[in-house]
Structure formats: C-alpha cells, structure tokens
A and B are shown apart, each in its own frame.
Chain A
Amino acid sequence: MSEAREQVLGAVRRSLRRGDTAETLAAASAATGRIAEHRRNLIPARADLPRAEQIALFETWAVQQAASVARVPDAAAVPGALAAFLKAENLPAEIRMAPDPELEALPWRDQPMLTVTKGPARESDAVSLTGALAGIAETGTLMLHSGPAGPTSLNFLPETHVIVLPAERVVASYEDGWDMLRARFGEGFLPRTVNFITGPSRTGDIEQTIQLGAHGPRRLHIILVGADAEGERG
C-alpha cells in the first residue's frame, strides 16, 4: 500500500518538477500557510444586510427552494407550531426527535396529543425534528452537523423534516457557518457529517422536470424562533 502511495506522490512530484530546493520549501510553506489562515475569498454582497433584512432574505431563499417557514415568537411556542403544521399537512401526530437538549427542553407537555420519541431515524418514522447550527441567508441553506444531539439519518430518512432554527443563528454566508464550527470543534476538525440543506429532496433526472421527494424528505419545514425580536437588534 505504501508502495502505491510513493508511486502516486512520486509521479505528482516529478510532474511538478519538485527538487530538494528552496523553491519546494517555499511551496510547502505556501500550502501550510493557506490552510492555517483559511482566508476568505470573495463573498457575494447579497446577504450583507441589517439583521431584519438578512433574516428575511434567508426566508425568501428557503421558500424559493420549496421549503416552508413558520415564525414563532419564542421557544415555548415551538411545540404548538409543530402540532399546527402536522395538522395542516394532514400528517400523523408522531415525531422522531433528535436527542438535542435544546429540543428536549421545549414544553412538550403543552401538546398531549403529540407522540415524541428520540433517537436516530427508523424506517417507519414519518416526521423528524432536529435543530440546526446555522441558517445561511445567502441561499436559504441550513447547516446541521452530526453528534450525540444530531443523528444524521433524521435529515434524510423520514418523509418530512422539521428544523427548529433560533433566528440569532441566521448568518450571512457559508464562511460564517465554518467559523461557528471552528469555534465549537477547533481548527482543522469537523464532526463526522456536516450537512448543508436547501429545501426538500428533488430530482430532474426524468426529462429534466423537477420532482420533489426523490429519496430524501418530501417536505422541509423551518420553525424560525424569535425572528421579530432578533430583527429589531438592527
């Protein structure tokens, strides 16, 4: 195996005309420097907006990509909003929830008709509920990551995926999201899975006509918490 490694790397080095020279050392420091700095490249200006407009942009793009969004004033209103969504969509009052302390802390007792179980998705689960690390205003994208509080299967197996997003986690760009992850996990480390999710699953593979619900969720619903208050922060 290491023979193959030397074969491939040796061929790359020969093509790049690497020698034991100052030039090679300079190249090495350019590469390590770029990784250590992870400098931002040009970021589109579209999401560089006051908070209220930035949150509105997130919603606009999410809806444009066929997600639905419901605003609620605070976390206590989430179970009610979820129950209302399930009813409106004619879905069973049963959810599979991520074992996420933030979601566990919500007042589920207010919705006695709702059955809540926790853990990774099972084949029979129709609706999942997860949190999210960030909402990216630039394209209406949600950023989620795996971990004890976030089984990845919940994002893909059930037909309906509901995401609770506190409005203060709406950021402008993907790069802002990476900085949040670096703050949490350290430089150069990622959890097993980071998902960017923009709307529900779709395919254009049959005659280039877009159909929703190819293999992943048919519906993506975002419960946006405290957007009005966050927007007033300017």
Chain B
Amino acid sequence: MESSARAFKENARAAVADPQLKRALSHVKEGFIGKRAKAAAKLPEFEVLRDAARDIKNHTLDHLDLYLEHYERKVTEAGGQVHWCPTAEDARRAVLEICRAAGARTVTKGKSMIAEEIALNDHLEANGITPVETDLGEYIIQLRGETPSHIIAPAVHLTKDLIEADFRAHHTALPPERPLSEPRQLVNEAREVLRDKYLAADVGITGANFLVAETGTSVIVTNEGNGDLTQVLPRVHIVVASLEKIVPTLEDVSTILRVLARSATGQECSTYTTFSTGPKRAEDPDGPDQYHVILLDNGRSSMLGGEFQDMLRCIRCGACMNHCPVYHAIGGHAYGWVYPGPMGAVLTPSLIGIEEAGHLPSASTFCGRCESVCPMRIPLPKMMRHWREREFERHLSPTGARAGLALWAFFAKRPALYHFVTGMAAPVLAALGRGRFRRLPLAGGWTAHRDMPAPEGRTFRQLWAGHRQGGSR
C-alpha cells in the first residue's frame, strides 16, 4: 500500500476537523473499552494468561527459523504448498500466478491486513481478476474505494447514514424505496448481495491469525463466518500470512486465543475459530482442492534480534488503538499506512522506514494505556521512544526541535548552571504569564491548541528542598 505517513500532520489536522469522523469514532471509546474491561474481569487468570501468551511468542521468535521449517514440512505433508515471499512484490506475484493457473475470474476475500500491506486488490484488478471483500466492514470500504481505518473494525470511521448511501448507490438492482436506515437492514442486504459471490468465486483468499508449526495449520478468528464461506466453497484456498504468525503447538494457540478475543472485542470467545490444514482430503465431501500459503517477510526478519523484536509478538487485536487518546481523536487513516494507532506507530517505521513514518512514533502522549492493555505485553511506549531516538540520531528531526534539545542538554549537563538559570527564570515567567501563556515563542505548536501553564515562581527543586525541611512552601 502507498504511504501518506509523511503527511501525518496534515492528515491529523483534517481528521480532527471532521465532525462525521468524530461521531463515528465515539463508538470506539464507548464500545471497546468497557467490553474489554468486563471480559478481563470475568476471567481471574487473565493477567497470568497475558504473561503466558507473551512467553510463548518470545520463545517462538527466538526459534523462528526452526518453527518455520517444521511448519512448512507439515503443510507439505498435508498436501499444501508454502510460497516464501521476501517482499510484497513477491507475494503479489505468487498470488497472481496461483489465480491465473486456476483460471480465476473472481476471488472472494476474508479480512487480511497482510493483503492490505501488499496492496493485493489493486494488483489483482490491474490483472483482470475481480477481488470481492466479504467481511462486512471490508466490503463497505471496498465500495467506497477506501482502506481500513482499524485493524479489526475496518469501517469504524463511518456512520450508518454514510453506509446506507453507499449501498443505495451501488446496489442499484434493488428497489430504491426499500428501508435501509437500521444496521440490521444493512447487514441483511450485504448478506444477500454477497451470497452469490461466494458461490461464483474460483479462489478464496483469507489471512491468518496464527500458523501452527505442530500441524501445518492456518487459523482464522472471525465473527461473521465470511472467512469460512470464502475458504470452503471455491476450488482454491490461498492464505496470506506474515512469518511472525507462527506458534509452536495447538496448546500454545489455545492460550493466546484466550487473551485475543477478550482484548479485541471483549468476547469470551469469537464466534468462529477455524483451523485449516492442507486441501480437502480424498474422502471429504467439500472443501478446496488446493491450499497455498503465501508466507511474507517484507522486513520482519530484520526486526528479529533487535530492539523491535517485541513488536513481532503482536496478535493484531486492536486493543492499543481502542484505548489510545490520539487514535480516538484522529482515527486510523491519518496514520497514512496499513497499521494505525500505537502498534502502527512502532511497526510502520520498521516496515517502511523511519524516513517515511517519522511522525508516527511522535504521535503519542506516552500515557501508557496501550501497553497496559496489550495482551502480549508489548512495551509500545518504550519502542516509540527508541524510534524517536533513532530519528534524532539520524538527523531526521526538524531543526527547531534539535536546537531546543541541544540547548536543554547544554544546561542539563551542568546541574549548577541549570539550577541557577531556572531559579532566575521561574519568577520572571511567573510574573509575565499570570497563570498561563496563550502564546510562546518557539512553542507555537503547543500554544496553538492549548495554553501553557506558567511556573508559579519557584522551581521544583526549590519546592522539594523546602518540603524536605518540613515547610510545605
């Protein structure tokens, strides 16, 4: 997918000014947070399970080459084929070749963020194959020519009025006077429209939440059942997955499933968890004749063994963005690439470069809610700081910020001078500010949107010294 992450500031400004988006995003705050908290509270072992899930993935990543080899062997034994793809381009080519060999005209798709990452739909369309998204949210945004704004709720940026207008504009064979203002009516209409597509498709493409090394199995976790119709009805099933989806055993996947649904939607368990191993067997009455796994690297292997390895534990539940005040304010599109929110702020620079995505790790208040809800205990704020440091080291931060930091560093390295200067400055600023500053030179970015509180006349160190001596002020 093309990135507009460089334009993050402009994107964010436009998003904040969009009243429709604000209305739609209110559902994120209201819905996801309370549901997750309730589900976590109902399971006394939830916190210990988070530790266990983290440990499973840490072990897996430390042994990733070995589990990948075992996984491939098991897929092959079951009659499937693994296609190793170093880059997005390789993955697109592999999918197209399989579709062409199958003589495919239409392809149904379950939800897959990897398919978004490699911009699969555009590539298929450019080559004369029609991809049909079947997840309701994905279907809606495909009609609109948009990309997902959330990793588990792709159309979370839309209100039902907009969706109604899209359905009326696209489903022109249906009577124009039909009632369509209720979510139920919209869901039913999409269900009817997509039925025929499932039955007509030559190839079904799904993502994978997990790949199980023990059995060579791909796993999808869904609520709608679209991913299942996508993989059981066509002759060919293609799974697109990235290499860090591997887990060693069925027991390990079971443990992670217990934290996934609760963290994502606050469900005890998603409606459908489907384990697929190879094509249909000789005696099976239905199922696909071919089973292919597109195994994508696209930059992940270079995250291993370094300070961003922990990010590869991510299971794409979306809890970090559901709890992020920045995401609540601007939604997902402003981030400019496939992965929004805190996980995107860490992952995107790893995959497309800090030069391109330098703004994202800075789009954080460091409130720490993302890390506190991450089922895999990924230290997201710490890794955003790593990116900020790298950006600084590589002289990518703006001159003003660098100069400010250099000035501060000059004083910070000289505590006596720092103490002296701040001791002088505090009463002066207090007198000038009268409580707060509406505008500050060199800090226009801050004061454009809020006032800067003025110092109260004494520095923290002075106050602390007074406190230690027993006087409160």
Contacts and interface: CB of A to CB of B under 8 A. Distances in A.
Nearest to B226: A215
A156 to B, nearest CB: 5
Interface in A7-53: 7-9, 11-18, 27-28, 30-32, 34-35, 38-42, 44-46
A28 B69 CA distance: 11
Given A1-B83, A15-B305, A202-B223, A195 B283 contact: no
Interface in B51-97: 52, 56, 59, 62-70, 74, 78, 83-86, 90
A139 B254 contact: no
Contacts of A214: 136, 187, 190-191, 223-226
Interface residues of A, number: 81
A156 B228 contact: yes
Contacts of A34: 59, 248-249
A153 B252 contact: no
Given A173-B254, A189-B215, A203-B187, A194 B283 contact: no
B306 A204 contact: no
A196 B273 contact: yes
B286 A175 contact: no
A146 to B, nearest CB: 6
Contacts, number: 276
B52 A215 contact: no
Given A8-B297, A16-B65, A205 B135 contact: yes
Contact of B229 (A8, A18, A42, A156): A156
B215 A207 contact: no
Interface stretch (B149-157, B375-383, B432-440, B446-454): B149-157
B235 interface: no
Given A148-B285, A215-B191, A30 B155 contact: no
A178 B251 contact: yes
Interface stretch (B9-17, B263-271, B354-362, B390-398): B263-271
Given A152-B287, A190-B277, A213-B187, A197 B272 contact: yes
B159 to A, nearest CB: 7
A4 B85 contact: yes
A39 B228 contact: no
Contacts of B90: 4
Contacts of B187: 203, 206, 211, 213-214
A206 B43 CA distance: 28
Contacts of A202: 223-224, 271
B372 interface: no
A34 B191 CA distance: 43
Size class of the contact patch on chain B: 35 or more
Interface string B19-31: 0000010011011
A147 to B, nearest CB: 7
Contacts of B27: 207-208
A39 B249 CA distance: 8
Contact of A31 (B67, B243, B257): B67
A2 to B, nearest CB: 8
A35 B248 contact: yes
Nearest to B249: A38
A90 interface: no
B345 interface: no
A46 B213 CA distance: 29
Contacts of A65: 267-269, 271
A8 B84 contact: yes
Contacts of B213: 31, 35
B63 A207 contact: no
B304 A188 contact: no
A205 B248 CA distance: 32
A76 to B, nearest CB: 27
B363 interface: no
A206 B228 CA distance: 21
B195 interface: yes
Contacts of A8: 68, 84-86, 243, 295, 297, 301
Contacts of A39: 249, 251
B214 A208 contact: no
Contacts of B163: 206
A207 B186 CA distance: 12
A31, A34, A215, most chain B CB atoms within 10 A: A215
A146 B303 CA distance: 38
A46 B269 CA distance: 14
B250 interface: yes
B64 A16 contact: yes
Interface string B284-315: 11110000000101000111111000000000
A120 B65 contact: no
A192 B251 contact: no
B206 interface: no
Interface of B: 24, 27-28, 30-32, 43-45, 48-49, 52, 56, 59, 62-70, 74, 78, 83-86, 90, 134-137, 140, 153-156, 159-160, 163, 183-184, 186-188, 190-191, 194-195, 199, 213-215, 217, 223-226, 228-229, 232-233, 243, 248-252, 254-255, 257-258, 265, 267-281, 283-287, 295, 297, 301-306
Given A31-B70, A44-B44, 14 more contacts: A8-B86, A11-B86, A12-B68, A16-B62, A16-B65, A34-B248, A45-B45, A139-B269, A190-B277, A204-B31, A205-B135, A206-B136, A206-B187, A214-B226
Interface of A: 1, 4-5, 7-9, 11-18, 27-28, 30-32, 34-35, 38-42, 44-46, 61, 64-65, 99, 119-121, 123, 139-141, 146-148, 151-153, 155-157, 173-175, 178, 188-209, 211, 213-217
